[in-house]
């Protein structure tokens, strides 16, 4: 069966990990620093902080920004749980603004309508690889002095156009921090892993401290445990815990894979774009099926495309999404639904009183969403199979 997503591991990837495995460091070693340096260099950004996973990246971003009780964080309902959960982790109130029906990303107009006096931050998610309207979102957030976190877990390596200039995701004026995930279904992988990118020196320092138990071994940062001779001695073993941090470290083995995958990222994105173009052509004339839309047509060759999410009018076809997915699977084609609107999840309903009607666009579009296979290792035969079986099933249903 062709899955909706899958990692691509080469012999070079395996060799790079094997070399790390036979080295002196398995974790918190030089390969971590090298991965961070190369990742930041690719974007032209000042800082890249590697962490255990994408959820840890979002959590640390909240902590570094000193978001907590009494603060509200606005995000999109069309995302994975972690984009909103990170606000709850720190005691803030996760809240939701609706999506625009074309890109399925956070709508700046809806953001402005949902804004409340206690809103401290916005988490803007680049759904399916398409960049959210970061300039539009920033215009609203900056007016209120709020911080902006771009959740770019779907958009690694992507770019976008604004006012005739092309900007890389992860290094532009409209986000304070950008987070990434390296889960196996993402465009590049470290198995599990994540990254936070920022150009702010203060935020970067906090992120590094909080990633490792709030502990520092840097003499320049020491405040001194005590004036006592015994406890105040700062020998080679000495360290200080200066904040309540977490063990969100990433290993050298993971970063070795990340370094190898980073070298393949451009090829990964190019292949994804090729497949998306073939899908778009093949599905253009299919009734009741709508291919992914672009908020800005100029981004057609800049988007990194993590997902190929179509909208199918299952009601018009007189079938259910479950029946459609089951029949596709029987024909060798996997699919997935991404995502259930987060504000409708039981915990969010029970904890914050959210419910239907809060985000009407997301709620109306959700029943039609279906993500088809999209990953670089797909062969031409795989792509042809997906096209043939989707078209055939649409005609038969």
Of the three residues 206, 239, 260, the one that is the final residue of a domain is 260
Q: Using alpha carbons only, how large is the chain's radius of gyration in Å? A: 22
Taking 90 as the threshold, does the pLDDT of residue 386 lie above it? Answer: yes
**Sheet strands (E) in the chain:** 47-51, 72-75, 93-96, 119-125, 147-151, 159-162, 165-168, 177-181, 194-198, 215-216, 240-241, 289-290, 308-312, 369-372
Rounded (10°) CA dihedral 380, 383, 387, 389: 100
How many separate helices (H) and strands (E) can be counted in the chain? 13, 14
User: Which band of pLDDT confidence, cut at 50, 70 and 90, is reported for residue 230?
Assistant: confident
Taking 90 as the threshold, does the pLDDT of residue 223 lie above it? Answer: no
Task: Give 199: exposed, middle or buried? Use CB within 10 Å, 0-12, 13-18, 19+.
Answer: buried
The residues, ordered by sequence, that sit 6+ positions from 298 with a Cβ below 8 Å of its Cβ are 161
> Is 38 domain-assigned?
yes
Taking 90 as the threshold, does the pLDDT of residue 321 lie above it? Answer: yes
Give yes or no: residues 249 and 358 share one domain.
Answer: no
The residue among 62, 56, 40 whose CA lies nearest residue 149 is: 62
Give yes or no: residues 253 and 273 share one domain.
Answer: no
Give yes or no: residues 141 and 56 share one domain.
Answer: yes
Cα-based angle 372, 374, 378 (whole degrees, multiple of 5): 120
Token digits of residue 34: 């090298």
Domain that holds residue 225: 11-260
The enclosing H or E element of 237 equals none
Of the three residues 210, 236, 260, the one that is the final residue of a domain is 260
Give yes or no: residues 249 and 279 share one domain.
Answer: no
Taking 90 as the threshold, does the pLDDT of residue 375 lie above it? Answer: yes
Taking 80 as the threshold, does the pLDDT of residue 229 lie above it? Answer: no
Q: How far apart are the first and last CA of the chain?
A: 21
Of the three residues 229, 245, 260, the one that is the final residue of a domain is 260
Give yes or no: residues 255 and 281 share one domain.
Answer: no
User: What global pTM score does this model have?
Assistant: 0.97
What is the predicted pLDDT for the residue at 234? 87
Give yes or no: residues 142 and 252 share one domain.
Answer: yes
Give yes or no: residues 235 and 283 share one domain.
Answer: no
Give yes or no: residues 36 and 19 share one domain.
Answer: yes
How many other C-beta atoms lie within 10 A of the C-beta of residue 200?
A: 16
The residue among 329, 339, 331 whose CA lies nearest residue 370 is: 339
Domain CATH code at residue 316 = 3.90.1150.10
> Is 110 domain-assigned?
yes
User: Which band of pLDDT confidence, cut at 50, 70 and 90, is reported for residue 80?
Assistant: very high
> Is 122 domain-assigned?
yes
DSSP label of 391:
H
Taking 80 as the threshold, does the pLDDT of residue 77 lie above it? Answer: yes
User: Do 96 and 351 form a contact (C-beta atoms < 8 A)?
Assistant: no
User: Do 58 and 123 form a contact (C-beta atoms < 8 A)?
Assistant: yes
Average pLDDT over residues 348-368: 98
Integer CA distances (angstroms), 104 to 63, 236, 255, 359, 365, in order: 28, 53, 32, 12, 9
Average pLDDT over residues 154-169: 97
Taking 70 as the threshold, does the pLDDT of residue 284 lie above it? Answer: yes
Rounded (10°) CA dihedral 276, 277, 282, 286: 70
User: Which band of pLDDT confidence, cut at 50, 70 and 90, is reported for residue 225?
Assistant: confident
Domain CATH code at residue 111 = 3.40.640.10
Average pLDDT over residues 236-255: 96
Taking 70 as the threshold, does the pLDDT of residue 221 lie above it? Answer: yes
The enclosing H or E element of 277 equals helix 252-283
User: Do 199 and 46 form a contact (C-beta atoms < 8 A)?
Assistant: yes
How many other C-beta atoms lie within 10 A of the C-beta of residue 70?
A: 10
Give yes or no: residues 250 and 274 share one domain.
Answer: no
Helix, strand, or coil here: 167?
A: strand
Taking 70 as the threshold, does the pLDDT of residue 227 lie above it? Answer: no
> Is 224 domain-assigned?
yes
Give yes or no: residues 272 and 243 share one domain.
Answer: no
Number of domains in the chain: 2
> Is 3 domain-assigned?
no
What is the predicted pLDDT for the residue at 226? 72
The residue among 384, 378, 374 whose CA lies nearest residue 129 is: 374
User: Which band of pLDDT confidence, cut at 50, 70 and 90, is reported for residue 224?
Assistant: confident
Across the chain, mean pLDDT equals: 97
User: Which band of pLDDT confidence, cut at 50, 70 and 90, is reported for residue 311?
Assistant: very high
Average pLDDT over residues 198-203: 98
> Is 120 domain-assigned?
yes
Taking 70 as the threshold, does the pLDDT of residue 43 lie above it? Answer: yes
> Is 173 domain-assigned?
yes
> Is 4 domain-assigned?
no
User: Which band of pLDDT confidence, cut at 50, 70 and 90, is reported for residue 34?
Assistant: very high
In this structure, the strands spanning 215-216 and 240-241 are antiparallel
Give yes or no: residues 315 and 226 share one domain.
Answer: no
Q: Is the peptide bond before 339 cis (omega within 30 degrees of 0)?
A: yes
Give yes or no: residues 344 and 251 share one domain.
Answer: no
Integer CA distances (angstroms), 394 to 79, 320, 387, 388, 391, in order: 27, 12, 11, 10, 5
């Amino acid at each position: 069966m062709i899955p909706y997503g899958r990692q691509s591991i080469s012999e070079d990837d395996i060799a790079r990990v094997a070399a790390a495995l036979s080295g002196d460091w398995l974790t918190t070693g030089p390969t971590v620093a090298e991965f961070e340096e190369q990742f930041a260099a690719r974007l032209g950004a000042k800082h890249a902080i590697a962490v255990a996973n994408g959820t840890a990246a979002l959590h640390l971003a909240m902590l570094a920004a000193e978001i907590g009780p009494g603060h509200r964080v606005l995000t999109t309902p069309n995302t994975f749980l972690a984009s909103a959960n990170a606000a709850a982790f720190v005691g803030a109130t996760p809240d939701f603004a609706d999506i625009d029906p074309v890109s399925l990303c956070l709508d700046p107009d809806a953001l402005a309508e949902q804004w409340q006096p206690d809103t401290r931050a916005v988490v803007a998610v680049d759904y399916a690889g398409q960049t959210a309207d970061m300039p539009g979102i920033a215009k609203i957030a900056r007016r209120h002095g709020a911080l902006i976190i771009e959740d770019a877990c779907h958009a690694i390596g992507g770019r976008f156009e604004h006012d005739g200039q092309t900007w890389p995701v992860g290094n532009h004026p409209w986000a304070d921090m950008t987070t990434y995930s390296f889960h196996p279904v993402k465009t590049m992988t470290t198995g599990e892993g994540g990254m936070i990118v920022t150009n702010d020196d203060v935020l970067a320092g906090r992120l590094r401290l909080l990633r490792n138990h709030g502990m520092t071994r840097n003499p320049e940062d020491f405040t001194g445990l005590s004036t006592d001779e015994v406890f105040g001695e700062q020998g080679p073993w000495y360290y200080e815990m200066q904040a309540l941090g977490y063990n969100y470290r990433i290993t050298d083995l993971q970063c070795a894979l990340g370094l190898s995958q980073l070298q393949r990222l451009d090829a990964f994105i190019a292949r994804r774009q090729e497949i998306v173009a073939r899908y778009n052509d093949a599905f253009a004339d299919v009734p009741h099926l709508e291919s992914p839309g672009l908020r800005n047509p100029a981004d057609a060759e800049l988007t990194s495309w993590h997902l190929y999410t179509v909208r199918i009018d299952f009601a018009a076809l007189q079938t259910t999404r479950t029946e459609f997915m089951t029949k596709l699977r029987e024909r060798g084609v996997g699919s997935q639904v991404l995502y259930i609107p987060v504000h409708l999840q039981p915990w969010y309903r029970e904890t914050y009183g959210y419910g239907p009607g809060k985000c009407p666009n997301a709620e109306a579009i959700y029943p039609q969403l279906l993500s088809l296979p999209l990953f670089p290792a797909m062969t031409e035969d795989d792509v042809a199979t997906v096209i043939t079986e989707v078209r055939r099933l649409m005609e038969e249903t």
